Homo-oligomer: A and B are copies of this chain.
Amino acid sequence: VAGGYLRDPAAIYAESFRIIRDEADLSGIPDEAEPIAVRMIHACGMTDIVSSLTIFEGAVAAGRAALDAGAPILCDSEMVAHGIISANLKQQNKIVCRLTDPRTRRIAEREGTTRSAAQVDLWGDDLLEGAIVAIGNAPTALFRLLERLDDGAPRPALIIGLPVGFVGAAESKAALLADSRGVPFVTLSGRLGGSALAAAVVNALAIGTEER
């Protein structure tokens, strides 16, 4: 490849974050939430997601405290689970995704819903209480989580609500934004979201924008 290319991982991260801070309008983002915005932009290549980003007041402190307390991270997809850099989790927090659990398919068929939503029912009360929930794929998983909270399930510490797409994504995130049932959250309004963005929020909470 003529001319070579930047290949040192630390230098690539540093240069990426420098470009993002140079180009993105982060003026509306509180200091403590800035690493989340930067890592989300880094994950998708788009500086303009900031305009539809909401980081609820207290979300960063709640997320960090949950990680420090060893809380589990409940993910709606295998992609989210595998996007989290587990080496950065100092408490070896458990990363949970039950999409391929045999019970998930049975619940999905019985309830006439997606497996993504069905597995939310396998996040038992003990697991959900104080957890970080990271939804980066399925609107139905976010809708189902809100239903469970309405039914009195224990509160997670933080909801990362970033389902993506054309059916239910905007609506489920609007429902979270309108009433998060008392739970701090991070979300992007509209259709944009995704597993890489959801994982980026967890990685930002764990490590900020150090070069990893």
Contacts and interface: CB of A to CB of B under 8 A. Distances in A.
A209 interface: no
Contacts of A112: 7-8
Nearest to A23: B166
A48 to B, nearest CB: 11
Q: Counting chain B CB atoms within 10 Å of each CB, which of A143, A172, A194 scores highest?
A: A194
A42 interface: yes
A69 interface: no
A20 B191 CA distance: 12
A78 to B, nearest CB: 4
B194 A16 contact: no
B8 A166 contact: no
A11 B210 CA distance: 43
A173 to B, nearest CB: 11
A125 interface: no
Given A7-B117, A167-B12, A45 B139 contact: no
Contact of A79 (B79, B108, B113): B79
Contact of A196 (B12, B15, B79, B175): B79
Tell me the dominant secondary structure on chain A's binding face.
helix
A192 interface: yes
Contacts of A7: 111-114, 117, 140, 143
Interface residues of A, number: 52
A209 to B, nearest CB: 13
A42 B140 contact: no
Contacts of A191: 45-46
A147 B1 contact: yes
A128 to B, nearest CB: 17
A182 interface: no
A126 B61 CA distance: 50
B143 A9 contact: no
A44 interface: yes
B166 A9 contact: no
What 5 pairs between A and B have smallest CB-CB spacing? A45-B191, A78-B82, A7-B113, A19-B166, A16-B166
